[in-house]
A and B are shown apart, each in its own frame.
Chain A
């Protein structure tokens, strides 16, 4: 149901800018391929209990024991990979993943291809968009320790790093050709894998190949209590600065697991890997004009973006195989039914019953308000930013030395000042070529260190207040409400991680269960529901007191205002009626053919207006027509469609 796509009407404004001017250089597929390369060695598969024995001060930890399962480093890494896999299937369903074990006794590399090239490399999961069978297989392995240890058996001689890197090269070249983000996650505890000079040199060459291919190596190093991982022994020779960070200043996420105890080591690893699961993609590269003649380089990133459930597809069963149906739209001249080629298309505005047209050049020109820039106009106290001054997601900005050296220090100095004086910048922003200009507040961010751009509304975007009688509550009632609020205070503030999106979670849990042929979970935990028990326990009495106070306030109020027409009660009788209406609608929704008839009938009876926007949009979408605009626009579009039939 493509209505699912728009499950959150408020937030989709965030995508608007994308329509009016994508950078033309972004022709590469915006896709990511991540290959996990996990080393298998005696120390990597050592059960965590063993190193606990080596640990001297392990006493206090015993209490937590058995609470969570404890894994060897290699298994922990695999479980991390599984977690990432399941996460990314939700957040970025088009991205590829693969798992390559190295140092294994067994050798396996693709079906049918010669294994000789990459001895002691075991391709556990081929680099591809994950599918149900491969997830099932991984799950099965993790649930069956014997079979897992069979695969995680170290070879007597470790795999050569050159081979591992070339295997990765081969996978990326063949499976993820032309991806703009390709990353190799190396998870290991061995900081000096190649001591032989020539083996080392060929590893260095192969690493250089990956760099030239645009593959980014992201290592995750595991230190043990007895051994501190030293990346300068080998890894700094194969890692490159890919321009995302300045050479001297890398975010220190590489050494992921150094905790002495296995449980927290797994958790450290998981958080380090999940933190990197999505490649950092810049939304834009921009000039920031702090003052006349003082321009620095910045990049913008989206740190908050509504994730929506994948849209539905039409599918077709062809023999045994299910296939996704591809819809394609042909544009034809209405009168002659001739196909229209792109260069014949002109854009025009409707005006006064006719069209007002412009050349392509004029179209660009009318939207052009100058070059992309974030231009600071001046500064105001942060308190001037009202709570309601919000239009869409903010953008995080971070300095870039790519175009201007000295950007970082200048940016840092500005951020320091804004933080210290609680100020914000007011700026004119054109984020991309021919993007619509907006006014924005630029506010400093403590963590991550940088600044945020918050787009401000224009006067045109501000809606009138609705008319509501103005009656202020008496003080005693406000006091009772304060009691309630104090009891339900969450001093740590809003922590998004505590609130997974229940609709999204359910959607994917169901899909996962069907795809993996598992039982459908009976109940879904919805963490967004208020903690009713706590509310009752802490504030139940206060709420009752407030209720009594309200009754009192109301009788006082009615005494002073006897003429007031009283409207009692809350509308409690609505649910059953709503339920019935729901049923009825669903039956109509059952398939494309029916929708057609329904819309047609509504058109004939001139009742298109009475259908919901969701229904109209869905129908338009199946016809490949635009679903943008207000309801009136949608109706008009549908009417036009039938009129021309």
Chain B
């Protein structure tokens, strides 16, 4: 896919790199390594074998490189990592080597020659993107004798040279070091000249570090998802009056997903230091229910299985030969169904990512033909509706297409539309009128905004106009334009993985990079305070207390407002829950109790009913009933602040199921109907461990 790449990082490890400068808390080396590690881990994370890295240190204590044997110009230069794919062992190895040395001997330009040598030997004449990055504080020796040969060599091999220095002067970035050491100043200007001569990059490390704060977006090469013909009319019946254009379809938007984590098993013996995670293998077994078999199920061999579908509860076997009948045969193509005005188009019905449709690259007829289609659509302010089949025998989808005309590019953008079955006909009451039970229609009501509220809202919305603001990440873009917003989850997870990879022993996670939170709050450039205060007052929104919610205050009466409680009195007074109607009667009785101690017998009765249901259940047939009662019992015990009663019962139920109803307990666990946690009632002191202990029994 992507081109092969070979990068050599040359790191200055002289003892002067271990000093602190410009009031930084980190040493020059630590400062430079921030950049280096970011670059290296970014490369590692793409996981490509053909994106290779070598690391060369200079001003090192030792000399270890391919050239030193024959030429002592190359002393105090060490190849820390030979060219190759960088993986975790390399990261660990390199980490140990990247400390300041005890010497300041060693020539930076010689190190550059070593790097060139590595690249030349590794890449030979093959197609590679070749990079050399030199990181230094510029205080050591740089012997520029014969540098013109090096420039030639860099140019010849098309090597991208980058020189980044600690506190190097950089007019573009706007940095100039005060009291600069004369040697450093000399080195800086010579290095800058070198870069200029071979079209390299030259800069101060601060800029580079600022640059890496910005998430990098990965470019994906466009891959077509459909190649075929756009048609108007039926070619087979009216070949003369059928419009055909060869087109291709590419994604315009596609979710960039964060890396996914895989499951591993914790090693049983935790003493294994290095990689205590063990790979997991999944094995699949197939079973059917069988009342007579032990475990109530029998294993099925793969050979004894056929394929089928469900039609409601009925199993419809479809043999392999019959598959053909179920299949809806289609032919790939994009058939135009008609054209609709753009103005009335309901934007929210679009239900997919968007795709680009362009003409076939090598087909001028098609390019000109599609161009006329695009421009005509544009001029008539219309959208095209089409039926798209991306491959033979794929089901069709309905799509809407809009024209895009840019200075050097034009295309159609296509988005999928719903079919009849995809529409859900939910009903919602109107927001501008209120209809009462008696059928009266009101336009003044507490649910309808007053004039005052409406005006305050209008002013507030006007004060929150984003159109004059610039992008928070790229000031050349408008505020919150998609091109200016990074995917927080994607970059956050990548950031966290990289940080953990280079510092596995650090506890906790690094903070969220502020860039990712840029758009999590309204912009500071607006001043809506006054309007907002007026709006708040006019809206008069009040949070509903949590207690009231649980008890459904005001909803206990039917729409007519009839006092059903009175009708229920006779029943609730009995305090006997009818087994055939447990849930309603329990709820009614617990709601009607006057004294707390009256609750206990109710919980007791409900518990007995639950146990009875389980006891009399044939296999698991009645389990759902019992679970429902249990859920209601739990809910109401929490609502009426007697969760202790529930906890007592659920412990009792656990031992009740122990004998031969363990499968019921697994339902309890699945539905999370165990002990009441502090998050559900503040008075609970149950810890997660205690709760899990009851669930899992260990």
Contact = CB atoms under 8 A, between A and B. Distances in A.
Scoring B88, B512, B522 by chain A CB atoms within 10 A of each residue's CB, the highest score goes to: B522
16 contacts: A131-B314, A248-B437, A294-B535, A294-B536, A294-B541, A304-B422, A312-B318, A314-B306, A355-B264, A394-B350, A409-B450, A416-B457, A448-B428, A496-B349, A501-B395, A644-B281
A72 interface: no
Interface in B44-83: 44-45, 47
A85 to B, nearest CB: 8
A615 to B, nearest CB: 14
A213 interface: yes
A292 B532 contact: yes
Nearest to A88: B312
A502 B340 contact: no
Nearest to A645: B281
Interface stretch (A41-49, A56-64, A261-269, A546-554): A546-554
Interface string B646-687: 000000000000000000000000111000000000000000
A600 interface: no
Interface in B228-277: 229, 232-234, 237-238, 240-244, 246, 248, 250-257, 259-266, 268, 275, 277
Scoring B87, B229, B397 by chain A CB atoms within 10 A of each residue's CB, the highest score goes to: B397
B380 A345 contact: no
Contacts of B47: 350
A406 interface: yes
Interface in B415-438: 415-432, 434-438
A428 interface: yes
A570 B431 contact: no
Interface string A456-480: 1111111111111111111001111
Interface in A488-544: 488-494, 496-504, 506-508, 510-512, 514-515, 520, 524, 528-532, 535-536, 539-541, 543-544
Given A328-B285, A353-B87, A390-B415, A458 B485 contact: yes
B571 interface: yes
**Shortest 3 CB-CB distances between A and B: which pairs?**
A503-B395, A209-B584, A481-B376
A113 B437 CA distance: 40
Contacts of A536: 233-234, 237-238, 241
Interface in B554-612: 554-555, 557-560, 562, 564, 567-568, 571, 580-581, 583-585, 587-588
A28 B673 CA distance: 11
Interface stretch (A142-150, A184-192, A365-373): A365-373
Given A312-B307, A378-B465, 7 more contacts: A306-B351, A332-B281, A391-B353, A411-B431, A457-B482, A466-B248, A539-B241
B522 A388 contact: no
Nearest to A393: B351
Interface string A427-446: 01000000011010001010
A213 B308 CA distance: 36
B91 to A, nearest CB: 6
B341 A491 contact: yes
Given A473-B368, A629-B260, A303 B426 contact: yes
B583 A207 contact: no
B45 to A, nearest CB: 6
B310 A310 contact: yes
Interface string A185-224: 0000000000000000100110111111100000000000
A335 B316 CA distance: 41
Nearest to A301: B426
Contacts of B346: 493
A275 B426 CA distance: 7
Interface in B468-501: 469, 478-480, 482-493, 496-498, 500-501
Contacts of B350: 390, 394
A326 B367 CA distance: 53
Given A377-B519, A404-B543, A535 B310 contact: no
A293 B529 CA distance: 11
A352 B90 CA distance: 9
Interface stretch (B10-18, B109-117, B165-173, B622-630): B622-630
Nearest to A511: B311
Given A13-B352, A582-B393, A554 B250 contact: no
Scoring B369, B382, B557 by chain A CB atoms within 10 A of each residue's CB, the highest score goes to: B369
Interface residues of B, number: 260
Contacts of B149: none
Nearest to A470: B408
Scoring B240, B255, B557 by chain A CB atoms within 10 A of each residue's CB, the highest score goes to: B255
B434 A331 contact: no
B395 A7 contact: yes
A345 B264 contact: yes
Interface SS of chain B: mixed
Interface residues of A, number: 275
Contacts of B341: 489, 491, 493
A448 B427 CA distance: 7
B320 interface: yes
B262 A348 contact: yes
B500 A485 contact: no
Contacts of A392: 351-353
Interface stretch (A73-81, A101-109, A153-161, A585-593): A585-593
Contact of B424 (A302, A407, A575): A302
A30 interface: no
B457 A305 contact: no
B337 to A, nearest CB: 5
B422 A464 contact: no
B343 to A, nearest CB: 9
Nearest to A353: B87
B251 A460 contact: no
A246 B280 CA distance: 51
Contacts of B567: 201, 204-205, 208
A421 B463 CA distance: 13
Nearest to A637: B262
Nearest to B221: A464
Given A243-B555, A463-B253, A334 B280 contact: yes
B371 to A, nearest CB: 4
A114 interface: no
Contacts of A408: 431, 447
Nearest to B253: A457
A546 B259 contact: no
Interface string B497-525: 11011001000110010000101111100
B356 A473 contact: no
A236 B558 contact: yes
Contacts of B248: 466
A465 B411 contact: yes
Contact of B488 (A399, A405, A436): A436
A624 B500 CA distance: 31
A492 B330 CA distance: 28
Interface stretch (B126-134, B175-183, B199-207, B358-366): B358-366
Interface in B312-363: 312-318, 320, 323, 325-326, 328, 330-331, 335-341, 344-356, 358-359, 361-363
A393 B567 CA distance: 48
A322 interface: yes
